[in-house]
Amino acid sequence: MCIQSLSKAIKLILMQCLVTFFIMGCHYQRECMISGRTMGTAYHIKYNVGMFFDHQNLKNEIEKALQAVNHSMSTFDPKSEISLFNQMKDTQKSMSISDDFFQVMKHAQQLHIMTNGAWDGTVKPIVNLWGFGHTNHQQHKPDDAQIKQCMKQVGFQNIIITDHHLQKKIPDIELNLASIAKGFGVDQISMVLENHNIENYLVEIGGEVFGKGTKINGKPWRVGINRPHIDADTHDVYVAISLQDKAIATSGDYRNYFIDGNKRYSHVIDPKTGRPVNNGIVSVSVISKQCTFADGLATALMVMGPDAGIKLVNEISDTECLMIQEKEGTFQLFYSAHFPKK
């Protein structure tokens, strides 16, 4: 064989190797991870992609989506949409809002109606009064007169929601959507991953989770529910479940409370009474199709208790829950009809 023919043969072999390498690289999947900070907590994302995937572009889009969520719902940003609404006092005017904020408010309205007011995004003043908010108020039991006065500023029904507009019925009503914001953030990140044609992923923000597909080994994503006790480590798993194409959100009262005399007061406030709930529920986990909905519903079920809560969840399609009640130092578990127990 002449040198020229040998050279062509080598080039052909190299080209075939490069094509084979590229094809294998496109189909070979590996588990990757992106993490960061948002909404005063951490986020973690696991996803399976090929070796030539553009991870930096994905992270940039995730950060952009999370910034948009904060711009809508962060009460710490004085220029956010929610802050501007809270500052507005004129009940004759309406405020134009972004599509994201409008979608969140529609979820909020649905939760408020569905739970008969157990979920309410306007309880911030009463939460502050008890000392659980981000204020200088000390944690203490307020008197009846203070509670009654403060409750005049509470009631989600005092917000008018029309097509991409909000309006107040009373000037001092304020929104705080912390109980669904993380769930909405999870859903928004999931949309970013879907737009990148990622089929297997797990998204978590501050304990609220959505999982799609499977892990790199083909097994379902596994999510742990923390043992609901003040001394429990964040990695102390009480119940573990498999999660596929579903979200799970958990609310609890075992880390944020105070004791006055011999009585324990939880940070979970009943919007109807203006007082901490006293039903013994220490943790609620909700599984559903959307994390926004699961996040808000978990908060509402803390207020509703096991009887009304389980009854409601059994009437909602594609939604399950686990409620944990503590009595005299022991846990009692309440499951909805089809909650996965393994």
Q: What is the DSSP letter of 197?
A: T
36 touches 44 (CB < 8 A): no
Where do we find the tokens 């127990």? 341
CA distance 180 to 106: 12
Q: How far is CA 219 from the centre of its chain?
A: 24
Residue ranges per structural domain of the chain: 90-168
CATH number of 90-168: 1.10.3980.10
Residue-by-residue pLDDT tens, the chain, 342 positions:
555 555 665 566 556 655 444 444 445 789 999 999 999 899 999 999 998 899 999 999 999 999 999 999 999 999 999 999 999 999 999 999 999 999 999 999 999 999 999 999 999 999 999 988 766 667 888 999 999 999 999 999 999 999 999 999 999 999 999 999 999 999 999 999 999 999 999 999 999 999 999 999 999 999 999 988 877 787 888 999 999 999 999 999 887 888 887 888 888 999 999 999 999 999 999 999 999 999 999 999 999 999 999 999 999 999 999 999 998 889 999 999 999 876
CA distance 84 to 72: 10
Strands (E), 156-236: 159-162, 165-168, 201-205, 208-212, 221-226
Residue 335, CA distances (Å) to 4, 231, 281, 295 in order: 76, 24, 13, 17
Where do we find the tokens 């072999």? 13
CA distance 258 to 271: 19
227 touches 236 (CB < 8 A): yes
CA distance 35 to 43: 5
